[in-house]
């Protein structure tokens, strides 16, 4: 589901129970992250639930960054799906230019999620942005 369609869906739904179902369904549709990727090195710090984020950088110029991720919690897995939709396959600059906070607000998630889940989402975004900065620095050094 692309991000605009998700916003439209959330705006159409009247209650949060239905919106949570959409989130959970998005998480269920994520490709399975192999056990070999569920390592401490891929675990996102700052999340109450376990979240693993694996990164692959393409050889394109500029490089594109692809993310695979998973969580052991249903709603968090839905948040992971939003994160992947927003960031995976983008260049470092596109990632850094993406205003995920306004999307989060537009979906109404800031008001509906627990503080721990909000903090976890912020930690996931920080991990993605850190990877984008590292990729951008690496691309600059090799140019």
Q: In what order do the strands lie in the sheet with 51-57?
A: 51-57, 64-71, 90-91
Instruction: Based on DSSP, count helices (H) and strands (E) in the chain, helices before strands.
Output: 7, 3
Q: Which residue in 26, 47, 65, 79 is the catalytic one?
A: 47
- pTM for this prediction: 0.91
Q: Counting Cβ atoms within 10 Å, is residue 139 exposed (0-12), middle (13-18) or buried (19+)? A: middle
140 falls in which pLDDT band (50, 70, 90)?
A: low
pLDDT band at 71 (very low <50, low <70, confident <90, very high): very high
Q: Is residue 81 within 8 Å of 30, Cβ to Cβ?
A: yes
Q: Is 47 an active-site residue?
A: yes
Span 22-43, average pLDDT: 94
CATH architecture classification, 3-142: Alpha-Beta Complex (3.90)
Per-residue pLDDT reduced to its tens digit, 91-127: 999 999 998 888 888 888 878 888 888 888 999 999 9
């Amino acid at each position: 589901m692309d991000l605009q369609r998700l916003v439209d869906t959330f705006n159409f739904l009247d209650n949060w129970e239905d919106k949570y179902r959409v989130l959970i369904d998005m998480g269920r549709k994520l490709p399975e992250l192999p056990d070999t990727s569920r390592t401490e090195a891929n675990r996102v710090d700052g999340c109450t639930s376990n979240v693993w984020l694996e990164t692959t950088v393409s050889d394109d110029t500029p490089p594109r960054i692809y993310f695979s991720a998973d969580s052991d919690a249903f709603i968090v897995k839905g948040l992971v799906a939003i994160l992947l939709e927003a960031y995976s396959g983008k260049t470092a600059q596109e990632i850094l230019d993406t205003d995920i906070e306004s999307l989060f607000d537009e979906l109404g998630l800031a008001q509906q999620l627990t503080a721990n889940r909000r903090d976890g989402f912020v930690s996931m975004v920080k991990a993605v942005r850190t990877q984008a900065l590292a990729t951008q620095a690496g691309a600059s050094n090799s140019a």
